[in-house]
């Protein structure tokens, strides 16, 4: 018998359930310690269901109190109930009502799935399989039902009672209790169910849709935090308007509520009409939130709102299709930010994230297709591959079809699949039908894991005025996929002539070239451009038009030429990154940079940050040099994080030695007395100024002093935190005092406490692990709150490579022990922290051996949750 942890679910086994639940009525009696859930399920057999087919409902940690069918109690022999399932052996072959009553214990629910209590508030999280922790149900996304829920609770403990849809009744329930009944007219899967009961404050606003519907908007939160919800409300209204204008999508209920809770496993959740948010993605005021925090709030509020169409009205047939809603909705939130802020800057930021998080996943033991074909634990598939690579796939469709073609296909998607639970195949079919383009080969993007490597080689023949460009693609094997097919790659490109203007050509042959796009769908092509007057410099994958690793042998001079002349801002930024990366990786491999190479890079960076034509946010990205993780990933094997750290630090000192004047001038020039606003213009100014400061702290003798002054005088958290961070990470004299000042001044606010925790985990110095251990051991540390755990230990494991991957193995062992401990209470948090080991095979032999030993001892400790056992097993085997 396979144990539970070995049980694998395969896409090929998908079958509709023999019964459908079409309507649900719930009565939830909320009482501290033990709550009771009564359910009336309106059930029909699906056509073709054979007589005697049992009805099997999912459950988890449920205790059945009573059960009746069409009003008559079931005899014991007619059903079997365990905490994990309810089977009715021979249900009638006609529509019937199954009535159950179960008890649950939300106060003991530390997994934060199903109904749980967060700082006194009862709230739910049902995606992907949490509804079964509330009542027995067909807890699968293809069962669409209409829901009505009556909640009854103590008026003092829970004056606010919310659920999906519209409030249809409320009143007194006697004994100091009251009730509210909510009804959601839109059929939905159980994972979108939500309810909240608590003593909450709120802010309210309204939005009138294009067709005149008045929507009441509410944001609910802990009392006293109402004034921190304004930016979230503003973001929501902008998102609603944008979805109407850009995609023709209107909101469809009279109410849209958001609730901020302090204990949440993820960012936020798109429950129909009642989004529930991790409070760090709602609360913001200038004194405690940074520009990046404001940006995340805007993005996630929009993301969850956009799910109303891509996720709620059109949902997934099964969990293998997760990226149908997630990839598409991330694409939509990216476009929203691009339209609201700066398109090239957002693109650069998204690509940085993709490379930092998704590429390592795709190149390691946890690699999986954007649409996986098997899983053991679906919670482990809320990954950057499903989300961010999923969005890249949609972006490539938009690139291939053009803006108008893409919009036409999206219109058809909404029209054809509204109200359905559907698949990636159906999505692709819509794009084929709308455009007439065959996308069967393109579909491989959903099916094959791994990041394609593209090698580009070129040659110019001045005698024949011919330019040849050879492109080859290859994908390395990934777990379960030893051989790969070529992908369809849209390669946006330009050829740049010696004067910096586009190079003309009279004819091109050898491949599929459409204006400024090459479509590479074979292993290799060799394009021949004729009539090219001079040797051009190629600019490939403009705007990062496909998620690949490009290997192109350009000289530093060519790269700096692109940095100055490329009309594509993304590739201008990329060119400077490439110059730095080449110098850094060579140095790590023992070939130290030549001084003139640093001179010319510094000159180009100095020039770029001096240009009036570029915006500050773009220049700020230019000052963000390749990270240690970027360097480690590019090197790929025998990684020694300490050596990488030292090389990078020396590189920054060398650059800052040459750029100090320019950085200082930038810093001084961008000082401002304006009242704080999180808008793009101000945030861009601050990010450029603060990135200049960060470099000065790392590479010049004046930096520490400048940072200390900025820390003390800052009028907002962005500037204060930007001064504090490099000071603490560099361990400059006085840094400990600043960190202590920060603790005393701010950490009563839990979200700023998280920032302090993260800073404690950041220094690459010995002693960091001890510091973390001390904080964790403090009895007042909230050891069940996901945000606190992630801020302290998650950030350490994922972000402090020098200490996590210490050669003596103490970092690995510390994280493995932490995972084993947290796993007992919250498997999702534990499993996610454990993914920091995903690159363990890339370390040099000593570290690799230590990582393996730590992982094996975690495995041998036994009793791991399915979440953690799954990540661990794949990490060790893959």
Smallest gap from Cβ 322 to Zn ion, in A, equals 9
Nearer to ligand 0A1, 139 or 660 (CB): 139
Q: Which does 267 bind (CB under 5 to 8 A by kind): ligand 0A1, Zn ion, none?
A: ligand 0A1
| Residue of 309, 322, 324 whose CA lies nearest to 186 | 309
Instruction: Give Dmax over CA atoms of the chain in angstroms.
Output: 96
Name 375's bridge partners: 9
Of 265, 384, 559, 666, the one binding ligand 0A1 by CB under 6 A: 265
Nearer to Zn ion, 267 or 497 (CB): 267
Catalytic choice (99, 304, 326, 660): 304
Residues 324-343 that bind ligand 0A1 (CB under 6 A): 326
Nearer to ligand 0A1, 382 or 460 (CB): 382
125 belongs to the binding site for ligand 0A1 (CB under 6 A): yes
746 belongs to the binding site for ligand 0A1 (CB under 6 A): no
Nearer to Zn ion, 326 or 335 (CB): 326
The helix (H) or strand (E) run that includes residue 297 is helix 291-306
Nearer to Zn ion, 272 or 542 (CB): 272
DSSP collapsed to 3 states, 349-414: HHHHHHHHHHHHHHCCCCCCCCCCCEECCHHHHCCHHHHHHHHHHHHHHHHHHHHHHHHHHHHHHH
Smallest gap from Cβ 361 to Zn ion, in A, equals 17
Burial class from Cβ neighbours inside 10 Å (0-12, 13-18, 19+) for residue 415 reads exposed
C-alpha 764/C-alpha 455 separation (Å) is 35
Q: Which stretch, 220-228, 265-273, 626-634, 866-874, contacts ligand 0A1 (CB under 6 A)?
A: 265-273
Q: Which does 719 bind (CB under 5 to 8 A by kind): ligand 0A1, Zn ion, none?
A: none
Binding mask 270-299 for ligand 0A1 (x = CB under 6 A): x-----------------------------
Whether the ω angle into residue 452 lies within 30 degrees of 0, i.e. cis, is no
Other CB atoms within 10 Å distance of the CB of residue 156: 10
Smallest gap from Cβ 379 to ligand 0A1, in A, equals 6
Q: Which does 497 bind (CB under 5 to 8 A by kind): Zn ion, ligand 0A1, none?
A: none
Residues 810-869 that bind ligand 0A1 (CB under 6 A): 828
C-alpha 39/C-alpha 350 separation (Å) is 44
Q: Which does 99 bind (CB under 5 to 8 A by kind): ligand 0A1, Zn ion, none?
A: none
C-alpha 545/C-alpha 489 separation (Å) is 8
Q: Which does 517 bind (CB under 5 to 8 A by kind): Zn ion, ligand 0A1, none?
A: none
* 273: helix, strand or coil: coil
Binding mask 329-348 for Zn ion (x = CB under 5 A): x-------------------
Burial class from Cβ neighbours inside 10 Å (0-12, 13-18, 19+) for residue 461 reads exposed
Residues 376-395 that bind ligand 0A1 (CB under 6 A): 382
375 belongs to the binding site for ligand 0A1 (CB under 6 A): no
Q: Which stretch, 35-43, 76-84, 262-270, 525-533, contacts ligand 0A1 (CB under 6 A)?
A: 262-270
Other CB atoms within 10 Å distance of the CB of residue 767: 10
Nearer to ligand 0A1, 270 or 362 (CB): 270
Binding mask 302-331 for Zn ion (x = CB under 5 A): ------------------------x--x--
Nearer to ligand 0A1, 278 or 559 (CB): 278
Burial class from Cβ neighbours inside 10 Å (0-12, 13-18, 19+) for residue 134 reads buried
Provide long-range contacts, Cβ within 8 A and 24+ apart, for 850-855.
Answer: 850/807, 850/808, 850/809, 850/812, 850/813, 851/805, 851/809, 851/812, 852/876, 853/809, 853/812, 854/809, 854/812, 854/813, 854/815, 854/816, 855/812, 855/816
Contact between 566 and 493 under an 8 Å Cβ cutoff? The reply is: no
Q: Which does 129 bind (CB under 5 to 8 A by kind): ligand 0A1, Zn ion, none?
A: none
Nearer to Zn ion, 279 or 312 (CB): 312
Q: How far is CA 631 from CA 272, 622, 841, in A?
A: 42, 16, 16
Q: Which does 583 bind (CB under 5 to 8 A by kind): Zn ion, ligand 0A1, none?
A: none
110 belongs to the binding site for ligand 0A1 (CB under 6 A): no
Smallest gap from Cβ 155 to ligand 0A1, in A, equals 29
DSSP string covering 77-136: GGEEEETTEEEESS--SS-EEEEEEEEE-GGG--S--EEEEETTEEEEE-TTTTGGGTS-
Q: Which stretch, 67-75, 264-272, 503-511, 764-772, contacts ligand 0A1 (CB under 6 A)?
A: 264-272
Smallest gap from Cβ 325 to Zn ion, in A, equals 7
The helix (H) or strand (E) run that includes residue 186 is strand 177-188
545 belongs to the binding site for ligand 0A1 (CB under 6 A): no
C-alpha 702/C-alpha 660 separation (Å) is 9
Q: Name the residue whose CB lies closest to ligand 0A1.
A: 266
Task: Retrieve residue 227's tokens.
Answer: 């004034």
Provide long-range contacts, Cβ within 8 A and 24+ apart, for 857-860.
Answer: 857/813, 857/816, 858/816, 858/819, 858/820, 858/834
Name 82's bridge partners: 85
Nearer to Zn ion, 136 or 306 (CB): 306
Q: How far is CA 853 from CA 318, 361, 840, 848, in A?
A: 37, 21, 11, 9
Task: Retrieve residue 626's tokens.
Answer: 């390749």
Q: Check the CA dihedral 346-347-351-357 and report its sign.
A: positive
Contact between 179 and 173 under an 8 Å Cβ cutoff? The reply is: yes
Smallest gap from Cβ 298 to ligand 0A1, in A, equals 14
Residues 789-808 that bind ligand 0A1 (CB under 6 A): none
Q: Which does 221 bind (CB under 5 to 8 A by kind): ligand 0A1, Zn ion, none?
A: none
Give CA torsion, residues 379, 383, 386, 389, to 10 deg. 180
139 belongs to the binding site for ligand 0A1 (CB under 6 A): no
* Active site (annotated) includes residue 287: no
| Residue of 125, 139, 128, 112 whose CA lies nearest to 57 | 139
Residues near ligand 0A1 (CB under 6 A), total: 13
Smallest gap from Cβ 113 to ligand 0A1, in A, equals 6
Q: Which stretch, 259-267, 480-488, 617-625, 787-795, contacts ligand 0A1 (CB under 6 A)?
A: 259-267
Q: Which does 268 bind (CB under 5 to 8 A by kind): ligand 0A1, Zn ion, none?
A: ligand 0A1
Smallest gap from Cβ 304 to ligand 0A1, in A, equals 6
Q: Which does 835 bind (CB under 5 to 8 A by kind): ligand 0A1, Zn ion, none?
A: none
Smallest gap from Cβ 268 to ligand 0A1, in A, equals 5
Say which DSSP state 49 is in: P
Nearer to Zn ion, 257 or 342 (CB): 257
Please report, as ranges, the residues that interact with Zn ion according to CB under 5 A: 326, 329
Contact residues: ligand 0A1, CB under 6 A: 125, 127, 265-270, 303-304, 326, 382, 828
Q: Which residues are catalytic?
A: 304
């Amino acid at each position: 018998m396979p144990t539970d942890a070995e049980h694998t679910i395969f896409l090929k086994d998908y079958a509709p359930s023999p019964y459908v639940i079409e309507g649900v009525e719930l009565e939830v009696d909320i009482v501290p310690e033990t709550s009771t859930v009564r359910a009336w399920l309106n059930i029909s057999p699906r056509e073709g269901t054979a007589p005697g087919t049992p009805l099997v409902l999912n459950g988890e940690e449920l205790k059945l109190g009573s059960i009746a069918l069409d009003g008559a109690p079931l005899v014991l022999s007619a059903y079997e109930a365990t905490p994990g399932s309810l089977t009715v052996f021979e249900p009638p072959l006609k529509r019937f009502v199954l009535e159950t009553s179960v008890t649950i214990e939300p106060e003991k629910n530390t997994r934060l799935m199903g109904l749980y209590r967060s700082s006194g508030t009862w709230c739910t999280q049902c995606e992907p399989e949490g509804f079964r922790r509330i009542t027995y149900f067909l807890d699968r996304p293809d069962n669409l039902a209409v829901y009505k829920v009556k909640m009854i609770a103590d008026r003092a403990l829970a004056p606010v009672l919310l659920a999906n849809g519209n409030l249809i009744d409320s009143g007194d329930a006697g004994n100091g209790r009251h009730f509210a009944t909510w009804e959601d007219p839109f059929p939905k899967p159980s994972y979108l169910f939500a309810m909240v009961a608590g003593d909450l404050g709120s802010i309210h606003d309204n939005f009138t849709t294009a067709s005149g519907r008045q929507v009441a908007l509410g944001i609910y939160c802990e009392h006293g935090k109402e004034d921190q919800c304004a930016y979230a409300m503003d973001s929501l209204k902008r998102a609603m308007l944008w979805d109407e204008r850009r995609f023709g999508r209107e909101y469809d209920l009279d109410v849209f509520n958001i609730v901020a809770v302090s204990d949440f496993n993820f960012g936020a959740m798109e429950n129909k009409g009642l989004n529930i948010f991790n409070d760090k993605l709602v609360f913001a005021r200038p004194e405690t939130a940074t520009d990046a925090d404001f940006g995340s709030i805007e993005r996630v509020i929009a993301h969850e709102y956009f799910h109303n169409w891509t996720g709620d009205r059109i949902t997934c047939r099964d969990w293998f299709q997760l990226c149908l809603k997630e990839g598409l909705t991330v694409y939509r939130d990216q476009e929203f930010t691009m339209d609201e802020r700066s398109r090239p800057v957002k693109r650069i930021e998204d690509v940085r994230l993709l490379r930092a998080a998704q590429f390592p996943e795709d190149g390691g033991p946890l690699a999986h297709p954007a649409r996986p074909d098997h899983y053991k634990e679906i919670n482990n598939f809320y990954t950057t591959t499903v989300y961010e690579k999923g969005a890249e796939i949609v972006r490539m469709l938009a690139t291939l079809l053009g803006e108008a073609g893409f919009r036409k296909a999206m219109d058809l998607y909404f029209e054809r699949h509204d109200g359905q639970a559907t698949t990636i195949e159906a999505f692709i079919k819509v794009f084929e039908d709308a455009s007439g383009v065959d996308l069967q080969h393109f579909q491989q993007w959903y099916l094959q894991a791994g990041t394609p490597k593209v090698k580009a080689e070129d040659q110019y023949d001045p005698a024949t005025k011919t330019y040849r460009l050879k492109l080859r693609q290859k994908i390395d094997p990934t777990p379960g996929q030893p051989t790969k097919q070529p992908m369809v790659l849209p390669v946006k490109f330009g050829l740049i002539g010696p004067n910096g203007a586009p190079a003309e050509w009279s004819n091109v042959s050898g491949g599929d070239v459409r204006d400024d796009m090459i479509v590479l769908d074979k292993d290799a092509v060799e394009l021949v451009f004729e009539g090219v007057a001079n040797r051009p410099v190629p600019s490939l994958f403009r705007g990062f038009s496909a998620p690949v690793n490009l290997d192109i042998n350009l000289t530093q001079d060519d790269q700096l030429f692109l940095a100055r002349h490329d009309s594509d801002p993304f590739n201008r930024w990329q060119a400077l990154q490439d110059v730095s990366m080449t110098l850094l990786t060579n140095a790590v491999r023992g070939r130290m940079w030549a001084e003139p190479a640093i001179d010319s890079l510094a000159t180009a960076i100095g020039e770029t940050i001096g240009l009036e034509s570029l915006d500050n946010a773009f220049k700020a990205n230019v000052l963000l040099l390749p990270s240690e993780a970027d360097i480690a990933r590019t090197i790929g094997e025998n990684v020694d994080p300490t050596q990488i750290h030292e090389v990078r630090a020396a590189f920054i000192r060398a650059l800052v030695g040459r750029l100090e004047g320019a950085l200082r001038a930038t810093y001084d020039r961008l000082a401002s007395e304006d009242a704080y606003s999180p808008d793009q213009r101000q945030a861009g100014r601050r990010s450029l100024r603060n990135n200049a400061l960060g470099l000065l702290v790392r590479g010049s003798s004046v930096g520490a002093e400048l940072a200390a002054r900025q820390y003390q005088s800052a009028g907002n958290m962005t500037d204060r935190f930007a001064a504090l961070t490099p000071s603490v990470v560099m361990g400059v004299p006085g840094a400990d005092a600043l960190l202590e000042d920060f603790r005393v001044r701010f950490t009563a606010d839990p979200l700023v406490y998280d920032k302090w925790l993260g800073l404690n985990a950041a220094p690459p110095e010995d002693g960091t692990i001890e510091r973390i251990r001390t904080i964790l051991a403090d009895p007042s540390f909230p050891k069940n709150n996901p945000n606190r755990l992630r801020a302290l230990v998650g950030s350490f494991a994922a972000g402090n490579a020098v200490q996590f991957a210490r050669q003596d193995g103490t970092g690995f062992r510390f994280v493995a022990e932490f995972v084993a401990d947290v796993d007992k209470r919250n498997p999702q948090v534990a499993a996610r922290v454990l993914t920091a080991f995903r690159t363990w095979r890339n370390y040099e032999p000593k570290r690799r051996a230590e990582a393996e030993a730590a992982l094996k001892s975690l495995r041998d400790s036994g009793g791991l949750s399915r979440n953690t056992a799954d990540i661990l097993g794949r990490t060790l085997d893959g």
